[in-house]
Amino acid sequence: MMDGGRLNRREFLASTAGGAAALGLGSMAGADAAATERQDVPAVPLAMWALTRTLESADVCRQLDAFSSVGWGVVLYPRWGLELEYLGEAWFDRIRFIVEQAAQRDMEVWLYDEFTWPSGHAKGLVTQGREDLEAQLLSVERDGSSRIESTPGSANLLKREATQRFIEVTHERYAAAVGDFFGSTVRAIFTDEPSLAHQHRPRSTDGGAWQFTWSDAMDAALGGDFRERAAAAADLEHWDGWREYWAAYARTFHDAWVAPIAKWCTEHGIHMTGHFLGEGSFGQQIAFNGSLRLQQGTFGIPGIDEIRTRTSVEQCEALTLASMAELPGRERMAEVFALGPPSMRLDTMRAMVDLCGCCGVDRYVLGMCPFDLSGGVFKREYLGIHGPHQPWFREYAGAFTEYVVEAAGRARAAEPLGIAWPSDEELWAVAGPEPTKSAELSALSKKVVAQAREAIRGRLRPAPAAGPVTTAAEHAGLVWRFAPKGPNSMRLDGAALTVAERPRVAELSIQRQLVRSLRINGEAVDVDAAPADKEFDLSYGRLTITGLLQEGENRFEAELTEPKPLPFLPALILWGDFAVDQEGRLVAVPESLALGDWRGEGFPSFAGTGCYRAEVEFATPPKGLVLDTGGYPARVSVNGQDLGACPWPPLRFDLRDAARAGRNEIVVEVTSTIGHLFVPKDSPAVGLLAFSFEA
């Protein structure tokens, strides 16, 4: 029953509470029509491709070739370091070019609806010249007076007109640019942590105002007299109106923001995907979106944020994983790995797939895969990197793809975990003024998390047992000749570098954003003339400096834009045929290495593949070779026969068709990570740590 075009409070609460309880986590109600049943599409990983600089065609194609070669799709994610006007003509020209090139390579593409995050503001365009669309806060003072305040620059996601404006400046323009690829190459558009600026806040201890996230739609949903009732309440902390407020907040956010975008996506033949902010507890869910089950259930490809990469059942985000299990029948996404570290093992990535997959997650957005590293000037706290910058990418990313696709079959068959979820009405009833501090909500979260962990533990397949690898006494003295495949690497954070033996080849990568000027041993280096470093990263210039180095002390006098080195963006990187001794001096590459971490054997920050060679006599050929590389990938050949590459433990290679009685040549190639260059002291041991032959 409508009153002047709106539901009264009683009608609204009845429809919201009943509808949300009936909806549940497993309902398809509200989901776009294209996603009511799971699409039988290959569940390939998707690189969260951070688009920076000007996206020159040759560079775009080279990187698309790299992703295509390992079977990945891409999410087109604009990020700090972008030199094009976001949503400008040149931006859409590049988007069109990328999508056309991806289509030629038969790649899956997802769009991204914001400049970084949170979604909903179009980098300020939604509210530009439209103050009426700005986010609002209702402030109620202790004396009962109230006022509505705006938050300049932030769109009001509780206002349908703001959502419509957002759709006009983002979605509609993407449709104009690449709409002919919708439903084929372009399958989804990703929304990232939509949230309301300056969330609802209770009165501060000094007696300040209460603040309520607000809009005209919220006012209507609450009957139009909420301000008066809140002002008249003697004790807002223990007021009985909070259940009503949170119910209205959940439904208004859904109807004003989530549903219109989902409807637009359905009408245009693509999926709404992405995830919300504040998923980890019932208190966070209510504070940030009112009801995760209601909002998440509307997405065509619902998603969660798992960027902390906690693969242990005891530490994982059990509540969000369990919520995915309750949405069978469609693709389900997790954004993963973005917090890194950049030295992450592929085995860790595989373990995350196993954990998410047993809860039905079959699509993975891999953060980050940067076009270049220029965004590191702006985002400095962490770096997850999983694209072509990684030394392991070209040889081993394809194996990860195969594993993800195979795991998707199990994920799509996964049933809900069988958890007794509290209804939204139960949650709203105990949320109070500060849901994140509600003892009742905390207890409910812990209860569901415990149930989820138990259910996940019962489903999770045990990881393959690697077991300890101990070198047998008869082979302990085996000499392994060593050579890096490609140049050694070393970040230069100090002004002095001692060269005990000058390398035959030395090249320097110069981070253009950080280095204003550079002199090496008193000679000026033309930083601007350095060609783009296409071997490592486009935000660097790269020069040969062999002739500038001298035996003894060398001075690198750099005028930098930063007072301290950035851990994930070195200002200077040296490459060449050198080793580094314990005192940090450049020395000749050793001909052999002892078993163990190669960082203590001349390669303290080597990002690449090291090749070990040994000759061994067998009276009786062994059946297998087992390696310990610190968990990093390895390739083995015996007597010239390639035995293949293994991306993760157990690193076991079958020797039965390759080894023979008498003398045998064994070649072991171990690959490290970019993290071993950027943060070498924080990265795990790597190299040929141990080996054993299986009789």
C-alpha to C-alpha distance for 518 and 71, rounded to whole angstroms: 41
Matching CATH number, 9-132+155-202+220-459, of 3.20.20, 3.10.450, 3.30.70, 2.40.33:
3.20.20
- Band (pLDDT 50/70/90 cuts) for residue 321 is very high
As a dihedral over the C-alpha atoms of residue 674, residue 678, residue 681, residue 682, rounded to 10 degrees, the angle is -70
Largest CA distance in the chain: 94
**SS3 (DSSP) at 65:** helix
| Residue 493 pLDDT | 97
| Residue 463 pLDDT | 80
> Tokens 């090496």 belong to which residue?
520
Q: What residue ranges do the domains of the chain occupy?
A: 9-132+155-202+220-459, 467-485+588-695, 488-576
C-alpha to C-alpha distance for 198 and 553, rounded to whole angstroms: 54
What is the token pair recorded at 55?
A: 């996206």
Candidates 288, 329, 327, 322; CA nearest to 306 is 322
Whole-model pTM?
A: 0.93
Q: Is the pLDDT of residue 429 over 70?
A: yes
> Tokens 């509609």 belong to which residue?
172
> Tokens 């809860």 belong to which residue?
359
| Residue 144 pLDDT | 87
| Residue 41 pLDDT | 79
Q: Is the pLDDT of residue 47 over 60?
A: yes
C-alpha to C-alpha distance for 355 and 353, rounded to whole angstroms: 5
Percentage of the chain beyond pLDDT 90 is: 86
| Residue 74 pLDDT | 98
Mean pLDDT, all residues of the chain: 92
| Residue 472 pLDDT | 85
Buried b (16+ CB within 10 A) or exposed e, 463-488: eeebeebebeeeeeeeebebebebbb
| Residue 35 pLDDT | 42
Q: Is the pLDDT of residue 17 over 60?
A: no
Q: Tell me: the pLDDT tens digits for 226-284?
A: 999 998 987 888 889 999 999 999 999 999 999 999 999 999 999 999 999 999 999 99
Q: How many residues does the chain have?
A: 695
What order do you get walking across the sheet with 496-499 strand by strand? Answer: 523-525, 515-520, 552-560, 496-499, 586-587, 579-580
Candidates 140, 151, 80, 66; CA nearest to 116 is 80
CA dihedral sign of residues 629, 635, 637, 643: positive
Q: Is the pLDDT of residue 23 over 50?
A: no
Phi, psi dihedrals of residue 58, rounded to the nearest 5°: -65, -40
Q: Tell me: the pLDDT tens digits for 565-591?
A: 999 999 999 999 999 999 999 999 999
Could you write out the DSSP letters of every residue in 67-128?
HHHTT-EEEEEEEEEE-SPTTSHHHHHHHHHHHHHHHHTT--EEEE-SSSSSSSSGGGTTTT
Report in angstroms the alpha-carbon separations of 252 from 258, 273, 324.
Answer: 9, 20, 23
| Residue 38 pLDDT | 54
Mean pLDDT of 513-522: 98
C-alpha to C-alpha distance for 101 and 103, rounded to whole angstroms: 5
What is the token pair recorded at 111?
A: 């769009």
| Residue 297 pLDDT | 96
Conformational region of residue 467, where left means phi above 0, alpha means psi within -120 to 50, and beta covers everything else: left
Phi, psi dihedrals of residue 179, rounded to the nearest 5°: -60, -25
Element (H, E) at 381: none
| Residue 197 pLDDT | 67
**SS3 (DSSP) at 511:** strand
Could you tell me which residues come within 8 angstroms of residue 664 by beta carbon, excluding any fewer than 6 positions away? 615, 616, 617, 618, 621, 638, 639
Candidates 251, 236, 335, 243; CA nearest to 289 is 251
Percentage of the chain beyond pLDDT 70 is: 93
| Residue 28 pLDDT | 36
C-alpha to C-alpha distance for 516 and 558, rounded to whole angstroms: 7
- DSSP H helices, 256-345, are 259-267, 282-289, 292-296, 318-325
Q: Say if residues 249 and 218 touch (Cβ distance below 8 Å).
A: yes
Could you tell me which residues come within 8 angstroms of residue 127 by beta carbon, excluding any fewer than 6 positions away? 121, 133, 134, 152, 153, 154, 155, 162
| Residue 476 pLDDT | 87
Topology of the domain comprising 467-485+588-695: Jelly Rolls (2.60.120)
Mean pLDDT of 172-200: 93
